[in-house]
Amino acid sequence: MPTATGHTKAILGSKVKGTSVYNTAGDKIGHVEDVVLDKTSNNIMYAVLGFGGFLGIGDDHYPLPWQSLKYDTNLGGYRTNLTADRLQGAPLMFSRSGRVRY
Amino acid sequence: MPTATGHTKAILGSKVKGTSVYNTAGDKIGHVEDVVLDKTSNNIMYAVLGFGGFLGIGDDHYPLPWQSLKYDTNLGGYRTNLTADRLQGAPLMFSRSGRVRY
């Protein structure tokens, strides 16, 4: 999220979760369900795009490159130029313990 | 958190929050309250070490290099070799909107 004054590039992970994600046409395609972090480096591996409930059974979750999300103040959410077709080519699975399986 | 099989280096941001943090002596010094992400790159800027409540007024919060946290399965939490003196030299302030101020 951008700040009112735009003087910081930092955002809390907890503030990202739940934020709506829109495509380039301005249609809501889902929300940021979580972020996936690399335990062995300082890298954010990706954001997880969710549809429907939050990590509920049967929900679909797709990885989004973190840097593909640009906050749009008019929409009040992130805009991404990735298409549903591209996202659905890379499914993710989550275990209940929060582990990520490819 | 390590996985049972140790075959992934990925962890969900939401699973990190609330995990206890211990010093090298094995004493609990706080918990991971949140992570701070760079909106403009794929960098995890740091983890936030909290004491007491969760972002309550009057709580202290200190930045911890993400890579300084090593999960210890015996302790059931992260171990860091940073000392309280070093942490307290770098205070953080949070606004209610989740913005981070230095």
| pLDDT tens digits, one per residue of B3-50 | 444 447 888 898 999 999 998 888 888 889 899 999 888 999 999 888
CA count, 13 A, side-chain hemisphere, B73? 5
pLDDT, average across residues A68-91? 78
Residue of B nearest to A18 (CA): B14
Cβ pair B12:A100 closer than 8 A: yes
pLDDT tens digits, residue range A2-45?
444 444 788 889 899 999 999 888 888 888 989 999 988 899 99
Predicted-complex ipTM score: 0.72
CB A34 within 8 A of CB A14: no
Q: Where are the beta strands (DSSP E) in B1-102?
A: 10-12, 20-22, 28-38, 44-50, 61-64, 70-72, 77-79, 93-94, 100-101
Query: Inter-chain contact B11–A37, Cβ cutoff 8 Å?
Result: yes
In this predicted model, what pLDDT tens digit does every residue of B40-94 receive, in sequence order?
A: 889 999 998 887 644 444 566 778 889 889 988 888 899 998 776 666 555 554 5
Q: pTM for the complete prediction?
A: 0.73
Q: A78 forms bridges with which residues in the sheet?
A: A21, A71
Summarize chain B as % helix, strand, coil (round to 5). Answer: 10, 40, 50
Predicted local confidence at residue A102, as pLDDT: 41
Token reading at B64: 């911890």
Hey, are the CB atoms on A12 and B41 less than 8 Å from each other?
no
